[in-house]
């Protein structure tokens, strides 16, 4: 597996990471814990060194899963987790708001360390920008945790350019995690130029469009009742039918390259910048292997021009999130 550095931070990780959220959360019922431990360990065997989780995934059970799975390999992997949600005080499965108060950040860090079975968090992201807490206070709290040896690197998720600059001035930001793929390119406008200027890495989540860009989902696909794609405007049957044109484009390139549509989508991201590290998620070993093979797919300048030209003519139908969730992206 090739390695990449997240910006100028010196944090080196595998060119593809593994997003672990879907093993416990969001995409239907949690998968079998022992099978997922096995899958995570097989990812390590295949050279993946970068694993992504968060306290809110479950909540808590995804961190516990990742901690148990990676305990035997702790020194050779990078674990990223996140803070910033206010969880149901009655122990329910839903978050009830945002909370990035410094004292809360420090409480989350202590709890995450225990669940992850580690003495240090490699990369600690603010999960969503909290409009009620100045980002300088957030960065300051993480700076304290870094000084205390409990965190190595600071990250932001779904933050806008202004927020990134303000945070970076207090505590250097190693990576920004944002949704980014061929069908969600908003980060290109302001976020990517800011990251390039400041020397910060980008970690695209949902690099396969929450599964859509694999070509395995169509207008007739039925999701489990607990699958959060049921509430996404982009995943209505009508939107899926219209958005099939993006998958068809990937399919055409894939056929020529003797690859799969998902591999083309990942190879496109890897070709964008050397400091971009996508974190596709899966619960299936054959998908893990397919994704890892994307690192070997080389897109020529002609391929990239073709993708750019064809995709620019495609208007993706449907918002990526319902309005109340879309508001939770930074400025």
CA separation, residue 2 to residues 17, 49, 90, 292, 296 (Å): 11, 10, 44, 10, 9
| Upper half-sphere CA count for residue 169 (Cβ side, 13 Å) | 9
Say how far apart CA 209 and CA 216 lie, in whole Å: 12
- Per-residue DSSP letter, 275: T
Dihedral Cα 306, 307, 308, 310, nearest 10 deg:
80
Q: Can you give the pLDDT at residue 209?
A: 97
- The structure tokens listed for 126 are 């603010």
Q: Can you give the pLDDT at residue 135?
A: 98
Contact 57, 81 (CB under 8 A): no
Spatial CB neighbours of 208, under 8 Å, sequence gap ≥ 6: 181, 214, 262, 265, 266, 280
DSSP SS3 for 94: coil
The domain at 3-326 falls in which architecture? Alpha-Beta Barrel (3.20)
Say how far apart CA 109 and CA 151 lie, in whole Å: 8
Specify whether 57 is catalytic: yes
Say how far apart CA 196 and CA 43 lie, in whole Å: 29
Phi and psi, residue 166, nearest 5°: -65, -40
Domain ranges of the chain: 3-326
Say how far apart CA 52 and CA 189 lie, in whole Å: 25
Say how far apart CA 67 and CA 155 lie, in whole Å: 20
- Measured between its terminal Cα atoms, the distance across the chain in Å is 35
Partners of residue 177 on adjacent β-strands: 157, 203
In sign, the C-alpha dihedral spanning 77, 19, 165, 265 is positive
- The structure tokens listed for 156 are 């932001």
Q: Which contacts qualify for 132-135: CB closer than 8 Å, 24 or more apart?
A: 132/98, 133/100, 133/101, 133/102, 135/159, 135/163, 135/166, 135/167, 135/170
Per-residue pLDDT of the chain (331 residues; tens, 9 = 90+): 999 999 999 999 999 999 999 999 999 899 999 999 999 999 999 999 999 999 999 999 999 999 999 999 999 999 999 999 999 888 777 899 999 999 999 999 999 999 999 999 999 999 999 999 999 999 999 999 999 999 999 999 999 999 999 999 999 999 999 999 999 999 999 999 999 999 999 999 999 999 999 999 999 999 999 999 999 999 999 999 999 999 999 999 999 999 999 999 999 999 999 999 999 999 999 999 999 999 999 999 999 999 999 999 999 999 999 988 877 777 8
Say how far apart CA 158 and CA 66 lie, in whole Å: 23
Phi and psi, residue 140, nearest 5°: -65, -40
C-alpha angle 203/158/84, rounded to 5°? 105
44-59 in b/e burial notation, b at 16+ Cβ within 10 A? bebebbbbbbbbbbbb
Say how far apart CA 229 and CA 27 lie, in whole Å: 7
Spatial CB neighbours of 57, under 8 Å, sequence gap ≥ 6: 20, 21, 24, 25, 26, 63
Q: Can you give the pLDDT at residue 245?
A: 97
The active-site residue, picked from 57, 125, 180, 205, is 57
Say how far apart CA 30 and CA 34 lie, in whole Å: 11
CA separation, residue 316 to residues 124, 235, 249 (Å): 32, 11, 13
């Amino acid at each position: 597996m090739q390695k990449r550095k997240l910006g100028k931070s010196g944090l080196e990780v595998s060119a593809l990471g593994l997003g672990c959220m879907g093993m416990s959360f969001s995409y239907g019922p949690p998968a079998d814990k022992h099978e997922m431990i096995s899958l995570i360990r097989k990812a390590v065997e295949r050279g993946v060194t970068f694993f992504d989780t968060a306290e809110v995934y479950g909540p808590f059970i995804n961190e516990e899963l990742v901690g148990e799975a990676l305990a035997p390999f702790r020194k050779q992997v990078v674990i990223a987790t996140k803070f910033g949600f206010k969880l149901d005080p009655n122990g329910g499965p839903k978050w009830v708001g945002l909370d990035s108060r410094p004292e809360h950040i420090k409480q989350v860090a202590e709890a995450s360390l225990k669940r992850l079975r580690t003495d240090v968090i490699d990369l600690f992201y603010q999960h969503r920008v909290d409009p009620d807490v100045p980002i300088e206070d957030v960065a300051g709290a993480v700076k304290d945790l870094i000084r205390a040896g409990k965190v190595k690197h600071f990250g932001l998720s779904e933050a806008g350019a202004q927020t990134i600059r303000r945070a970076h001035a207090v505590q250097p930001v190693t990576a920004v995690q944002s949704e980014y793929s061929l069908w969600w390119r908003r980060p290109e406008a302001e976020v990517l130029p800011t990251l390039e200027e400041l020397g910060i890495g980008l970690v695209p989540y949902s690099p396969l469009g929450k599964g859509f860009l694999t070509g395995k989902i169509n207008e007739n696909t039925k999701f489990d009742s607990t699958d959060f794609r049921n509430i996404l405007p982009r995943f209505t049957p009508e939107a899926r039918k219209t958005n099939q044109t993006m998958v068809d484009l990937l399919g055409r390139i894939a056929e020529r390259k003797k690859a799969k549509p998902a591999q083309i989508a990942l190879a496109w991201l890897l070709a964008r910048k050397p400091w971009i590290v996508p974190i596709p998620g899966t619960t299936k070993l054959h998908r893990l292997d397919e994704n890892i093979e994307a690192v070997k797919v080389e897109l020529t300048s002609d391929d990239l021009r073709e993708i750019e030209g064809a995709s620019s003519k495609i208007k993706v139908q449907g918002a990526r999130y319902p309005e109340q969730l879309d508001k939770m992206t930074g400025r």
